[in-house]
Amino acid sequence: MKLNIGKALMIGAAACLAPALATPAVAQSKPQVQHTPKDWSYEIQDGKRVPKGNRVTNADGSWREELRQGNCVTIKERSAAGEYKESRECNPTKSQ
């Protein structure tokens, strides 16, 4: 009787451990990054909506992005040489 209980415990333990041994390959795979469609006005980052900016890229690699949030406008610029500049302007009297 003791021999059968021991075998049953070993088989049960092996059955419980088999899925746990198979999952590390799935868990270590790279997470899929989902991008929002280009025509949407926001992106989803960390489960939250983040407004997209209007970015204009030039042929020399420089770009300028304008991001509106309420009455504020944030302008991000990067020159072809790699210089980055960010400015923010808020106008409380102007509603959009």
CA 8 distance to own-chain centroid: 46
Measured distance CA(85)–CA(75) in Å, rounded: 8
- Mean pLDDT for the stretch of residues 60-72: 90
Average pLDDT, the chain: 79
Report domain extents, the chain. 2-90
Q: What is the DSSP letter of 46?
A: T
- The band of 60, judged by pLDDT with boundaries at 50, 70 and 90, is very high
How high is the pLDDT of residue 88? 95
Measured distance CA(69)–CA(60) in Å, rounded: 29
How high is the pLDDT of residue 87? 96
Q: How confident is the model over 10-56, as pLDDT tens digits?
A: 787 777 666 666 655 555 566 666 677 777 778 888 888 888 888 89
Across the chain, the runs of DSSP E, i.e. the strands, are 42-45, 48-51, 54-57, 63-69, 72-78, 84-90
Widest pairwise Cα distance in the chain:
87
